[in-house]
Structure 1
Amino acid sequence: MSTVTGPTATCADVPARGALRALLPALAAHRAMTARTCVAALLEQGSLTALVTLAAHTVGTAVIEGRAPTAGVVTALVALVLVRALMTWREMDLSHDLAYRVLAALRVRVFDGLARSAPARVAGRRSGDLAATAMADVEALEFFYAHTTAQLLAAGTVFTGGSVLLALVEPWLLVAVLPVAVLLATAPFVDAGARTARGGRTRSAVAALSADTVETVDGLRELLAFGALAERRRKLAERGRQVGDAQRAEATWEAVAAAVRDVLIVVAVLGVVAAAAHSVTSGRLHGAWAPAATALALSVLGPVAESARALSQAVALRAAAARVDAAVKAPALAPPPAAPRPLPPGPLGVRLHRVSFDYGGEPVLNGVDLTVRPGRTLALVGASGAGKSTCAHLLARFWDPSAGEVQLLPADGEPVDVREVHDAELRRAVVLVGQDTPLFHGTLAENLRLAAPEADDRALAEAARLCGVDRIAPLDTLVGERGATLSGGQRARIALARALLAGPRVLVLDESTAHLDNTGDAELAAALRQESRTTIFIAHRPATIRRADRIAVLADGLITEEGTWEDLTGDPGSALNRILGHTAPPEHGVPTA
């Protein structure tokens, strides 16, 4: 099992070739709508070509031969106008409907990728940057799905059919059109590298602005308190200027590209007119057909020019496509088991057997052996950075160890490696509550039901009562985003009530009661007492540590000592006494529940 290499690989900073092609399979789930969109685009472009050609022939016939158009020709012209109008509307409707359906599914896949690879690929990344990938980058791909795929297919079909017809009618007209068509089609790829770089700078600038904006809103109180708001506004203004500069650079080069396309079309017009005039004077083309042939040559060139414009803009989306593709394909650092094993019923204990782990550098854990019997409580103690939270994260299977096993121990039967347990079943059995558990905008009840959406009102009220949540506010009270309207102690009570509502068989508390006073800590300790549940405390508070059945001290990547409170504090030289030395004497002065 590979170790965590850090969060930097979360998204592609350098767009790879084929980043846009990699997103085409997203259309596979919408084959029928994709086919209808392509047909509508083909009819829209084909009807325009037929309309222009027929109208030019009608005018040529009227001028050269003095004949008015027949009723059939007029009917055909009217029908083509109606078809063109209807197909233009239909193609726009279908292409945008298709694009937004694909984007909706793509957002879910991005979120799935982030969830699958969390927390390692999320840790260290700014929330605004993640939001830019999940929302802005996905939204930018609307142009690719709505204005590129079906249109390119239709343009290629119309140009091929028109070229064959031109070759039959007058090959010199095709000779005048073909070189310009080739130049138009290849121009977006000639400048692809520079376009990709400019698009990448724009996406990076937008992501940086999004990240800074989110951080500014989140830290507004601190910025005001320390008088740093003016400096922060200056930084946001600079980020805005960077976005504007990047967008202007893209717009400037796109204007230049549009001018080049216009020049090429003018050259094509001159070439077609010259070829048609030469064909008429040499007798190869009848005068009445000259306007029609000229119109056909130019009308088949129009979709090519429009496709070149679409390709130019699509190439600039490579950076956004690469970021989205990287999020969608993010590997799971805790891959699902090939053949999941069901957990046996009843209480579960925990065993870490020779567990090693690192974050890409020095080992954090180096052969940890630790066993907690079913229904028992353990206090895991150690200095900051000793690896206590890493043990908790491995137990919750946010990551897998680089060596060793993390197992769940039934009261009777064989241990089960957490890597062999289906993720949904593991989440029901093992619940981790951290020190800073975020709350979401909504009611207290909605935040509690996050762990158990199916919980009835009675179970909800009981969990709230046990943890004192009912003393904070009524359960239908709205909670601010991230619990901004609550104190740290109140958030801790809600987080613990949410965990209890899930009914876990193993509960891991990572400094979860650090924001509570001693009275609140004792109250929650009483609420957590349940013989069948295994509880692991990661704590520094002596009162919390003392309540555990056993205490394990983690240092230098190993469990250096283990025993009861009396055993460990009775030894003046114990590691536990050294850790607690700044907070309480070894045996006396420690408050009890």
Structure 2
Amino acid sequence: MSSTTGTAATGTPTAGTAAVDTSTAGTATAGTAALPPDAPRPGSLRALLPALAGHRAMTVRTCAAALVEQGSLVLLVTLAAHTVGTAVIEAEAPSSGTVAALVALVLVRALATWREMDLSHDLAYRVLAALRVRVFDGLARSAPARIAGRRSGDLAATAMADVEALEFFYAHTTAQLLAAGTVLTGGTAVLAAVEPWLLAAVLPVAALLAAAPFAEARGVAARGARTRAAAAELSADTVETVDGLRELLAFGAFPGRRRRLAERGRRVGRAQRTEAAWEAGAAAVRDLLIVTAVLGVVAVAARAVASGRLHGAWAPTAMALSLALLGPVAEAARSVSRAVALRAAASRVGAAVGAPALAPPPAVPRPLPPGPLGVRLRGVRFDYGGGPVLDGVELTVRAGQTLALVGASGAGKSTCAHLLARFWDPSEGEVQLVPADGDAVDLRELADGDLRGAVALVGQEAPLFHGTLAENLRLAAPGAGEDLLAETARLCGVDRIAPLDTPVGERGATLSGGQRARVALARALLARPRVLVLDESTAHLDNASDARIAAALHREGRTTVVIAHRRATVRRADRIAVLEAGRIAEEGTWEELTARPDSALNRSLAGMSS
């Protein structure tokens, strides 16, 4: 889940797209709060119930299997108790029909238990598969603002661990509650028919069992939130430790990091032990309530038998029936309590699924004309919730032109790049694509697919995925032919790294920074964008390689915006624009701007490498 800038040409911005300018990293655009803290939100579990709507038939089958499973258990226990009571009191052996019914109920119970477990887990994992995709879609839709400043492991915990934790909710809560409620209703009707006073011993306990999870919901949710937060911190630290293992070893910092991981692990353990201790106490209370109810049933049944209102064979039947009814209610209460503990995970997942789009799609997209495209920023203002980063930027890049955008660190260069890729929308002004013939088109009027096909951003980071070089290149254009793939690889020098079927390792661990930069650039070019935005993406290349790639891009006649801190890269551009204080301070050719000793470009060049 690290930054994935450089894959913008794949069609949609990915979950980790682009870090913001260094001066604003970790902040969010005004009006776009970061993902919520771990404090659980009421109703977060209910909000995830609609995920079952796409699996109605399987949900119905799961509920039916749970009802048969619990109902058959109640019938089996009740019939067995009545048979024993009859045999003891009346000295009669059970009939062959009774024995057959008991055997049948045992078989039905076994089959229903297996079927309910099979269906409930199948349903749960189908829902989780769809939910996980929706989480990734939400992160991608709202990136980068809602993930800015969040750690990779924390994002992974939401996308993976939090979603996985909801398996219990989908597999063990809904069907069990429905079945327990139905069985309790039917069973109490039978008890009322046998001896109405039996309800005085059963119903109050059933009500207490049902109410207990809601009475302790706040504490359960808070303890669950602490566990989820501790687990997310451990995940984040673990991911960062693995990613930076070489640096930790090189600087002798690994022992300290290991102690930190150990402390994180102990914190998770303490949170889990606290949860388990409270659950054990709650389970003991539930068992005590059931025992109390059974004792009450025994007392009522004994008085009813002594007064002649109840046949003696029904006394053990009433006890068994009350126990069989309260057992599922207690189990349902346990399930509800465990589900409430998942409220924090549900809040995090729900926030990711429902994250608003930072670049909402147009109601009626405009078609993008064919042919070369230029770029225009008109009166663009933008901020990250504080002071303005861009304050009325006016900039035009003609079709086929290469423009170098320079300025001090934090001047807003990367922000301009992100606006051109529409990771954000400006608070004021317009970002436009300008065809050679025809009217300019605001990026907000374009369908996302059209925009991603026209504009590609290659950022400062060049992350790769586990797979071969060819597979990483084809992320941008899965249908690219072998000839185009080979040509693009040759253009960017990827073919000189290794054969295209060579695995690159996790996150391109086997490649150097310059090699990853070549792959990222080739990946973007494979999609044949009409506008290419390079955000210091060639900084890892040597001067000769940078010059060769620049010459190749110039021959293709593509509109290119280059953000660079290297003199040679800036000098090769057709035009140069200098950002200062959120505005274009000056614009012109290298010769025009360097000829003036007091020019803004000369001030910027003072901090540049050759």
Q: Normalising TM by the smaller chain, what interval?
A: over 0.9
1:394 to 419, 429, 434: 419
SS at match of 2:470: helix
Q: Which residue of 2 aligns with 1:105?
A: 130
Residue aligning to 2:60? 35
Provide TM-score, normalisation by structure 2.
0.94
Residues 279 and 285, structure 1, Cα contact 8 Å, conserved in 2: yes
| Residue 205 (structure 1) aligned with residue 225 (structure 2) | no
SS in 2 for 1:513: coil
SS at match of 2:34: helix
For 1:587, the equivalent position in structure 2 comes to: none
Counterpart residue number, 1:574: 599
Partner of 2:438: 413
**Partner Cα distance (2:508, 2:36) in 1:** 29
Contact 1:6/1:120 (8 A) holds in 2: no
The CA deviation at 1:328 is 0.7
| Number of the residue aligned with 1:238 | 263
Question: Is 1:318 matched up with 2:343?
Answer: yes
User: CA-to-partner distance for each residue in 1:201-220, whole Å, 9 max, x for gaps?
Assistant: 00000000000011111111
Q: Is the 8 A contact 1:33 1:98 kept in 2?
A: yes
> 1:536 aligns to what SS in structure 2?
strand
Q: CA deviation at 1:580?
A: 0.9
What amino acid does structure 1 have at the position aligned with 2:235? S
CA distance in 1, matches of 2:421, 2:114: 52
Structure 2 residue aligned with 1:258: 283
Give the conservation status (yes or no) of the 8 Å contact 1:114–1:122: yes
Are 1:304 and 2:329 an aligned pair?
Answer: yes
Rounded Cα–Cα distance in structure 2 between residues aligned with 1:434 and 1:355: 21
Aligned length: 584
**CA shift at 1:530, angstroms?**
3.9
Residue type matched to 1:349 in 2? Answer: G
Q: Deviations over 1:312-348 (max 9, x none)?
A: 1111111111111111111111111111111111111
Instruction: Could you tell me which runs of 5 or more consecutive residues in structure 2 were left unpaired when the two chains were aligned.
Output: 1-26
Match of 2:209? 184
Contact 2:594 2:601 (C-alpha < 8 Å) held by counterparts: yes
Matched, 1:512 2:537: yes
Instruction: Give the 3-state SS of the residue equivalent to 1:9 in structure 2.
Output: coil
Distance 1:138 1:12 in 2: 16
Alignment of 1:97-496 (within 5 A): 97-496=122-521
* CA positional deviation for 1:483: 1.9
CA contact (8 A) 2:38 2:228 kept: no
CA contact (8 A) 2:477 2:526 kept: yes
In structure 1, what is the Cα distance between the partners aligned to 2:556 and 2:240? Answer: 43
The residue type paired with residue 274 of structure 2 is: A
Contact 2:34 2:145 in 1 (8 A): no
Residues 217-238 of structure 1: per-residue CA shift (max 9 Å, x gap): 1111111111111111110000
Moved more, 408-417 or 62-71: 62-71
Are 1:3 and 1:401, in contact at CA under 8 Å, matched by a contact in 2?
no
Residue in 1 that maps onto 2:575: 550
| 8 Å CA contact 1:7, 1:124 repeated in 2 | no
Q: Contact 1:11–1:324 at 8 Å: present in 2 too?
A: no
The alignment's C-alpha RMSD in Å is 1.4
AA aligned opposite 1:486? L
Letter in structure 2 aligned against 1:424: G
Give the aligned residue type for 2:433.
L
Q: CA contact under 8 A between 1:355 and 1:403: conserved in structure 2?
A: yes
Q: Give, in angstroms, the shift of residue 291 of structure 1.
A: 2.0
Q: Give the share of equivalent positions with the same residue, in percent.
A: 78
Tell me how far 1:548 sits from its aligned partner. Answer: 1.4
Whether contact under 8 Å (1:148, 1:314) holds in the other structure is yes
- SS of equivalent to 2:204: helix
Spell out, residue by residue over 1:417-455, the C-alpha distance to the aligned partner (whole angstroms, 9 max, x if none). Answer: 111111111111000001212111111111111111100
Residue 281 of structure 1 deviates from its aligned partner by: 1.0
Equivalent residues of 1:505, 1:532 under 8 A apart: no
Match of 2:550 among 493, 517, 525: 525
TM-score (norm 1): 0.96
Question: C-alpha displacement at 1:188, in angstroms?
Answer: 1.1
Deviation at 1:294, TM superposition (A): 2.4
Report the residue type matching 2:340 in the other structure: V
- Segment of structure 1 superposing worse, 558-567 or 205-214: 558-567
Kindly provide the CA deviation profile for residues 248-272 of structure 1, in whole angstroms up to 9, marking residues without a partner as x.
0001111100110111011011001
Task: Tell me which amino acid in the other structure corresponds to 1:503.
Answer: R
Is the alpha carbon distance of 1:362 and 1:582 closer, same or farther for their aligned partners in structure 2, counting shifts above 3 Å? closer
Q: Distance in 2 between matches of 1:12 and 1:87?
A: 41
Is the 1:173–1:294 contact (alpha carbons within 8 Å) kept by the matching residues of 2? no
- How far apart are the structure 2 equivalents of 1:336 and 1:259? 54
SS in structure 1 of the partner of residue 138 of structure 2: helix
Aligned counterpart for 1:15 among listed residues 29, 34, 40: 40
2: CA distance between counterparts of 1:108 and 1:506?
30
Letter of the aligned partner of 1:362 in structure 2?
G
8 Å contact kept, 2:201–2:296:
yes
- Aligned match of 2:29: 4
Out of 525, 531, 536, which is 2:561 matched to? 536
Amino acid in structure 2 at the alignment position of 1:127: S
Residue 282 of structure 1, CA deviation = 1.3
What SS does the corresponding residue of 2:392 show, helix, strand or coil?
A: strand
Distance in structure 2 (CA, Å) of the matches to 1:25 and 1:142 = 15
Structure 2 Cα separation of the partners of residues 463 and 11 of structure 1: 43
**Separation in 2 of the partners of 1:570 and 1:229?**
52
What whole-Å deviation, never above 9, does each CA across 1:517-563 have from its counterpart, x for those lacking one? 21111111112124542111111212111221111111111111111
In the alignment, the residues of structure 2 paired with residue 169 and residue 95 of structure 1 have an alpha-carbon distance, to the nearest angstrom, of 35
Does 2:103 correspond to 1:78?
yes
Once residues 386 and 298 of structure 1 are traced to their aligned partners in structure 2, the CA distance between those partners, rounded to angstroms, is 72
Equivalent residue number for residue 113 of structure 2: 88
2:398 touches 2:559 (CA, 8 Å); kept in 1?
Answer: yes
Work out whether residues 28 and 148 of structure 2, in 8 Å CA contact, stay in contact via their aligned partners in 1: no
Structure 1 Cα separation of the partners of residues 36 and 99 of structure 2: 57
- Runs of 4+ in structure 1 deviating by more than 6 angstroms, as ranges, are none
The separation in 2 between residues aligned to 1:371 and 1:159, in whole angstroms, is 73
Q: Which amino acid aligns with 1:468?
A: G
- Secondary structure at the aligned position of 1:171 is classed as coil
